[in-house]
Structure 1
């Protein structure tokens, strides 16, 4: 089990399909997290962002690849880092569910181990800030 976990639970003012559309599209994700993101390999599924697709996060040669492991429209996205990075045993999970108010509950977790000793806590805090900032930006776009 990974040693570090960044987590965000939030309620977003939109339906699951609208929230999923923003989070699943690799090319739109960058504006939410504040880093360039581009799809570098399409999925074999109907949605090019689905299972098996690969996205590059970063600027030029400085960044890392993430591969989509699970893609259940309007419900679940799971991914892992599949290139050299500051993370080991990285697993991201985006889970969406309905609320009684017709909004969407977002539960986003990122679990990982550190590669460089004593960097895990700093990476965890940085990821939590990125998740919170991304959720604020997404909320603004959904209004």
Structure 2
């Protein structure tokens, strides 16, 4: 198994709380990615999209489930794939910070191991492209 990692670092002239809300809400996160996303399990915390919530991405058997493993409002979201998938040890980490200029910096990092040899590069490239395209949509949805 090979480990694959990529990081996207973007800055927006939008308040951090608004940017965080776009990524935290499962429905708006799906809009950013251009994929159907549905929360299938609510968090036990105040925010139903928070720690322990589960979202389903995709349609039917092509979809997968992700569970939120860390949720710090306006600071950090971490999640992992918790359904059957062609990748293992997946960790998505989205950090939100203020810049000295008063903008919002988003650092989105994903790492995973491939299960089927030599498929990880393809999965990583497709995933990174989809997330980069989605992140460019943040100003449109904020």
In structure 2, the partner of 1:67 is 67
Q: RMSD of aligned C-alpha atoms?
A: 1.4
In structure 1, the partner of 2:114 is 114
> What TM-score, normalized by structure 1, do the two folds share?
0.95
The DSSP-based 3-state class of the residue aligned with 1:123 is: helix
The DSSP-based 3-state class of the residue aligned with 1:61 is: helix
In the aligned structure 2, how far is the partner of 1:87 from the partner of 1:47? Answer: 28
The DSSP-based 3-state class of the residue aligned with 1:132 is: helix
In structure 1, the partner of 2:28 is 28
Asked whether the equivalents of residues 6 and 127 of structure 1 are also in contact (C-alpha less than 8 Å), the reply is no
In structure 2, the partner of 1:6 is 6
Written as runs of structure 1 = structure 2, the 5 A alignment for 1:71-110 is 71-110=71-110
Asked whether the equivalents of residues 65 and 81 of structure 1 are also in contact (C-alpha less than 8 Å), the reply is yes
Shift of 1:34: 1.2
In structure 1, the partner of 2:137 is 137
In the aligned structure 1, how far is the partner of 2:101 from the partner of 2:89? Answer: 36
Shift of 1:113: 0.4
Give ranges in structure 1 of 5+ residues lacking alignment. none
Matched, 1:53 2:68: no
In the aligned structure 2, how far is the partner of 1:116 from the partner of 1:129? Answer: 21
In the aligned structure 1, how far is the partner of 2:9 from the partner of 2:130? Answer: 13
> What TM-score, normalized by structure 2, do the two folds share?
0.95
Q: How many residues align?
A: 142
